[in-house]
Structure 1
Amino acid sequence: MYANLPARRRAAAATAAACALATVLAGCSGTTKDSEEKAAASRASGATADPDAPLKKGLKLAFLRKQINNPYEKIVDEAGIAAAAEFGGTGKEVGPSDAGASSQVSYINTLVRQRQDAILIAANDPNAVCGPLKQAMRKDIKVVAYDSDTAKDCRQLFINQASTEEIGRSLVRDMAEQIGHQGKIAILSATQNATNQNAWIRYMKDELTKPAYRKMDLVRVAYGDDADQKSFQQTQGLLQAYPDLKGIISPTTVGISAAARYLSDSSYKGKVVLNGLGTPNQMRKYIKDGTVERFSLWDPEKLGYLGAYAAAALASGQITGAEGETFTAGELGEYTIGTDGEVVLGPPTVFTEDNIDDFDF
């Protein structure tokens, strides 16, 4: 799938030091099943990485989506499942029908009972999933967050699409350029608790405090809950409340496509600028008909592919999640783990009429 990307030799890994969990668990006593599992987790947490260890065969990976009918996450997960087959493992995807804060909890519990080797989760809420994810880690099930992070102590790794700060600031810079650095703007987000959305929005708001944007006014952050119809209605509501709105930033693939659909059939087409994060196949017709001039996104297939190899490296003992460790993600090459277990895929691509037909996802 990525034959054009060179593979690189793995470098020596750093020693892991996940001592906090070990310290808590070392004081446990008794012979119950739970205490035995905690003791095992304590011993494992002091292990060092073996960068020369081969990837284990037969690994079972489960991708837990925010919402089962999210087309973007389907692309991510299918690529991750295909990657698992490359190294002799198996993968599957599961997820709730809604993006509520606690909607993923029952799925995590089921995956723990199934003894998956790794759970990869795009979290709807950073904290609501923590209890069951910690239980998974105590049972030596590796936890990798992707796309939308959990709290840092609830997983070993976070596979980030691109620099969180760069995504947030670049969306504001693009909007400012398109509206001449003046006018009212709004943000159409996913859910109020979505970790990635909120992190991007924080950087958007911070960017807007700079003098260059003094004539721009963020009037509202609306939430479409990553549901197509609600995002469509929220777009309509924003324009009814602010008929002089100059632009909408939607950092969610569901939101931007719903907003584009509304604008394309309204009197606001060509008058209200829309940008954000979307997939080329969703947005192609809106680029072609002039509703949208540009939008951006990373390659979701590469995100899923990287996530699968990261989970396999954890489950095989090549890495522990410590800063500075490296692993090879198949044909994507070598990656280094950063602060707080973050692995960054790379910079996003900006899609315009000039290049959109070069992509198919």
Structure 2
Amino acid sequence: MKRNPQRLAALASLALAATLGFSACGSDDDNGGGGGDGGSDAIVFLPKNLGNPYFDASTTGGERAADEFGGSIEEVGPDEPTAELQVPFIDTAAQQGVGALVVSANDPSALCDSLNQARDAGVKVVTFDSDVEADCRDLFVSQADAAGIAKAQVDLIAEQIDGNGEVAILSAAANATNQNEWIALMEEELAANYPDIELVDTVYGDDDDQKSFDQTEALLSQYPDLEGIISPTTVGISAAARYLSESDAKGEVALTGLGTPNQMREYVENGTVEAFALWNPEELGYLAAYTAHALASGEIEGDEGDTFEAGDLGEYTVGADGVVLLGEPYVFDKSNINDFDF
């Protein structure tokens, strides 16, 4: 994959302040919200749930891409991150004949029937952030290599606790595809390279701020010798940081994972969090929109080796299993966090 050499400079200039030009919620009918007016340039973004800053950012990136290639983006989705609640939005978009669906899946298999019915109706299906089974979509836009994401988080927590002690994982939903893949790889990485670190528990905050906050409190109560927490979800890491910043564990229990600079800035600056990682969610949405457009317009078929241009990100190539890879995760700390605004 060729990347624009000015990528980091462009990354630093991106902001979430852009006004969203699409619906912030679905329709009130029984079929859920719908997409635009149909046609190959009409793309529906279906995140895990609405009101999540991470997905707000990715949809902003998708809208920026659509402005460039002359298409339209509509964001629809449930208020709660469940696969069951995503299904009506898929069905409605298919009925409206949109060009493509861009979906972050709450379950790897539960959406498959609806997604395949949409594909049978001529809708191109691109997953991003969290995949479904490969035979249920056309392409998956991956935020980073799963092994690289897992290794980055394990290396960060290991550095912060000097490679020794008890750690726990605060995840999103128990059936979230991406979370579970990362957790399995983190377990392998810990076993292979950090024998003195013990993973004592994995708990789930369901990408709900209050539940994630409460789970953090419960972890510290249950494991008084806990040295660190890894939270591979933007909602979870910010809720955990908020709890730690207000407790006696601030500066004593390390926290890392995946978060956005705007969520985590105050916790880095006040010493609650030393470093964390993420890709740019705006870039992820931007690439997903370009990928969907390339499919819906017939520029690519989605076969391994297909190439397409993704605006200022440059040229991308479809890899094995229909995966388009954004890039490597980026580490944020006190030295660079103020260079970013998303």
Please tell me the root mean square deviation across aligned C-alpha atoms, in Å. Answer: 1.5
- One of 209, 217, 227 as aligned partner of 2:198: 217
Could you say which residue in structure 2 is the equivalent of 1:300? 281
Matched, 1:325 2:306: yes
Could you say which residue in structure 2 is the equivalent of 1:137? 119
Q: CA deviation at 1:81?
A: 1.6
Matched, 1:200 2:182: yes
Contact 1:62 1:120 in 2 (8 A): yes
Q: Distance in 2 between matches of 1:167 and 1:79?
A: 21
Contact 1:3 1:331 in 2 (8 A): no
2:158 alignment partner AA: A
Q: CA deviation at 1:3?
A: 10
Matched, 1:249 2:230: yes
Contact 1:102 1:125 in 2 (8 A): no
Could you say which residue in structure 1 is the equivalent of 2:82? 100
Q: CA deviation at 1:64?
A: 0.1
Task: Output aligned runs, 1:227-238, within 5 Å.
Answer: 227-238=208-219
Q: Distance in 1 between matches of 2:263 and 2:78?
A: 22
- One of 311, 316, 328 as aligned partner of 1:347: 328
Could you say which residue in structure 2 is the equivalent of 1:338? 319
Could you say which residue in structure 2 is the equivalent of 1:79? 61
Q: Distance in 1 between matches of 2:184 and 2:273?
A: 24
Q: Distance in 1 between matches of 2:95 and 2:297?
A: 20
- One of 219, 233, 245 as aligned partner of 1:264: 245
1:136-175 CA-partner distances (Å, limit 9, x unpaired): 1111100000000011111110000111011012211111
Q: Distance in 2 between matches of 1:356 and 1:4?
A: 18
Matched, 1:122 2:133: no
Q: CA deviation at 1:270?
A: 0.2
Q: Distance in 2 between matches of 1:134 and 1:294?
A: 41
Q: CA deviation at 1:101?
A: 3.0
Could you say which residue in structure 2 is the equivalent of 1:288? 269
Could you say which residue in structure 1 is the equivalent of 2:22? none
Q: Distance in 2 between matches of 1:178 and 1:293?
A: 8
1:66-105 CA-partner distances (Å, limit 9, x unpaired): 0111110010012102211211111110110111232201
- Which stretches of structure 1, 4 residues or more, deviate above 2 A after TM superposition? 2-6
Give the match's secondary structure for 1:102.
helix
Structure 2 segments unaligned to the other structure (5+ residues): 9-38
Contact 1:226 1:252 in 2 (8 A): yes
2:221 alignment partner AA: Q
Q: CA deviation at 1:58?
A: 6.4
Q: CA deviation at 1:315?
A: 0.6
Give percent identity, aligned residues only: 55
Task: Output aligned runs, 1:25-174, within 5 Å.
Answer: 59-174=41-156
Q: Distance in 1 between matches of 2:178 and 2:209?
A: 19
In structure 2, the CA distance between the partners of 1:265 and 1:143, relative to structure 1 (3 Å rule), is: same
In structure 2, the CA distance between the partners of 1:245 and 1:91, relative to structure 1 (3 Å rule), is: same
Give the match's secondary structure for 2:249.
coil
Contact 1:5 1:333 in 2 (8 A): no
Contact 2:152 2:329 in 1 (8 A): no
1:102 alignment partner AA: E
Could you say which residue in structure 2 is the equivalent of 1:42? none
Q: Distance in 2 between matches of 1:240 and 1:114?
A: 51
Q: Distance in 1 between matches of 2:161 and 2:6?
A: 38
Could you say which residue in structure 2 is the equivalent of 1:43? none
Give the match's secondary structure for 1:59.
strand
- One of 195, 220, 241 as aligned partner of 1:239: 220
Contact 1:60 1:116 in 2 (8 A): yes
Q: CA deviation at 1:108?
A: 0.5
1:259-317 CA-partner distances (Å, limit 9, x unpaired): 00000000000000000000000000000000000001111111111111100100111
Q: Distance in 1 between matches of 2:340 and 2:252?
A: 27
1:228-278 CA-partner distances (Å, limit 9, x unpaired): 000000000100100110000000000000000000000000000000000
